[in-house]
Structure 1
């Protein structure tokens, strides 16, 4: 596992990756390490960027462990710093079950996660997973400032 703090040591290191178990505990770890990583990248825990990215990761990771889970297979979180944006990717190991927006009924507890992702992200989408079976759900979030390597 790459340490979030290590990702700021040089200009070439603008990516954080975490392989996590496809369980609710793994999804929680992905969300918490996203917040830690963004804090180390200069977006404090209580900043809008950190809170929005943590929420997007929570939704995408929850979907991955709920709908994209395959026995014995992990999920993958990837954060990429871009110029003024953050790309969040969560990959799982199932090709089927591509996420779709739907309106949840009044009494339903689930079904609103991608609406939240869509509201917070500039864009989001689904692509086939590179180098492994499955899919990657990604979201592009504004960070408000261009990336300036230290």
Structure 2
């Protein structure tokens, strides 16, 4: 039986390339993006092509993130329920506004069908909406 080579188009479309270029590649610690000492590749499983490299956090990076979160807690505790609701509602709105781009990124990095990825992004966004609505009911 002759060897049948699989032909793949491992080039990204302009839309895919634009989406991948929006992926943050650093660590978000203490309110800003920071570089890590190491990176790891994100690979498209259908083509085995490296899409980008992202930060590979170390235990020390994790401790810095925990320290920053602990330092921010007092300020966050003073944030009113209405302000918290607005922050969460904004996260929901941004996810829905960017659902196609986020779903495309998920498809590229996981090989998930695009329709399923859109559903997953929508599902995740709904958590932000639900918690935005619940935030105003928090007392104490």
TM-score normalised to structure 1 length? 0.29
Bigger proportion of residues as strand: 1
Q: Please say which structure displays the higher CA radius of gyration.
A: 2
